[in-house]
Amino acid sequence: MRISTIGYYFAEAFRSLVRNSWLSLASVGTVTVSLLILGCSLLLVLNADRVATTLESSVEVSVFLHNGLNQDQVNALEEKIRALPGVSQVRFISKAQALAEMRQSFGGQKDVLASLDKKNPLPDAFRVKTQRADQVIGVASRIQAMSGVDEVRYGQGVVEKLLAITHWIRLAGLAAMIALAAAAVFLISTTIRMSVFTRRREISIMKYLGATNWFVRFPFLLEGMVLGLIGALCAALLVYFGYFSLVRRIGETLPFIPLITGGRYLQAMLGGLTVLGLLIGALGSTISIRRFLNV
């Protein structure tokens, strides 16, 4: 391919963009909006995922034992819990340890603690972790049935709700992504169709003059890809700066929410958005080009 031909492709693509400048602007705008929403929902899902994972991993089952169990009985119980499917970690917390932990967390209130020193009311306990959050409920109910267990506690209800919420966020995010990507493809294909339509005379003349199909196609393909790319870059920049200012503000006021701040994640996502914009542009123009080249 000659340099002058490549120059021709770009010149034609940009001439067409400028000639249909309002249409181009509208379609860049729609791509930007689509990918912006896409990027936002992606961030929402990623962050919801992150929050969910953090919460899930902190969900554990507290198993309080009857008073007066001897060491053998405690060991046997631990073995039985460990053998349950889905259990990943079992930690024994003795009365003394429980008190020490309590002492740490209530460090300021010495009076309360002093009275506890004489007669420790806290029971021996196990802290049980599961491999996945959805196993908590099953494990908890089976431990409850064991002898020597006084009470089992976990975030009853909270775990179930959390699981349902993350499930729906993931589904909704996925659906939104697919719908918006399809909308963007449709909009670019409409733009290119208009562009092909306004130039149909030129195309038929080109065919008479002996232009190859690819020579006719290429400027339109390029036009669509440029539209997609510009839209994607706008969206990526908006997402990037918008998200960072948001993260900064949330970090000041609600520091316990574990938001994604790593540049790696974001860079990969923005790079993905840009590539997606290019693909959307190429796909959109390909759809419109196919039917116009049978001169």
Partner 1 sequence: MIHFYGVSKVYQNGVTALKNINLHIRRGEFLFLVGPSGAGKSTLTKLIFREELPTSGQVIFNGKNVARMRSREVPHLRRKIGMVFQDFRLLPRKTVWENVAFALEVTGASRRDIRRRVPEVLQLVGLSGKADMLPDQLSGGEQQRVGIARAMINNPVLLVADEPTGNLDPETAWELMNIFQEINARGTTIIMATHARDIVDRMKKRVVALNAGCVVRDEIGGGYRDED
CB of 29 to partner 1, least distance (A): 26
Q: How far apart are CA 17 and CA 220, in angstroms?
A: 10
202 binds partner 1 (CB under 8 A): yes
Pick one of 14, 64, 186, 215: the residue that binds partner 1 (CB under 8 A): 215
Please give the helix or strand (H or E) that residue 60 lies within, else none.
none
Q: Count CA atoms within 13 Å of residue 40 on its CB side.
A: 12
Asked if 61 contacts 143 with a C-beta cutoff of 8 angstroms, the reply is yes
58 contributes a contact to partner 1 by CB under 8 A? no
Least separation in angstroms between residue 294's CB and partner 1 is 9
* Site for partner 1 contains 212 (CB under 8 A): yes
Q: Cα 29–30–31 angle (5° rounding)?
A: 90
Does 255 interact with partner 1 (rule: CB under 8 A)? no
Residue 103 interacts with partner 1 (CB under 8 A): yes or no: no
Maximal CA-CA distance, the chain: 103
Which one of 206, 238, 247, 279 is in contact with partner 1 (CB under 8 A)?
206
Binding mask 3-42 for partner 1 (x = CB under 8 A): -xx--x----------------------------------
In total, the chain counts a number of residues equal to 295
Least distance between partner 1 and beta carbon 54 (Å): 59
- Rounded Cα–Cα distance for residues 210 and 141 (Å): 79
Q: Give the Cβ contact number of residue 130 at 10 Å.
A: 24
166 close to 262: Cβ distance less than 8 angstroms: no
Part of the chain binding partner 1 (CB under 8 A), chosen from 31-39, 68-76, 113-121, 207-215: 207-215
Q: Which is nearer to partner 1, 151 or 202 (CB)?
A: 202
- List helix spans (H) across the chain: 3-19, 21-58, 71-82, 95-105, 110-118, 136-144, 158-198, 200-208, 213-253, 263-290
Span from 168-176, 178-186, 210-218, 257-265 in contact with partner 1 (CB under 8 A) = 210-218
Q: Give the number of residues in contact with partner 1, rule: CB under 8 A.
A: 19
- Return the number of the residue (23 or 273) whose C-beta is nearest partner 1: 23
CA dihedral 202, 205, 211, 217 (to 10 degrees): 30
Interface with partner 1 by CB under 8 A: which range of 25-33, 177-185, 201-209, 228-236? Answer: 201-209
Could you list the residues that contact partner 1 (CB under 8 A)? 1-2, 4-5, 8, 201-202, 204-213, 215, 295
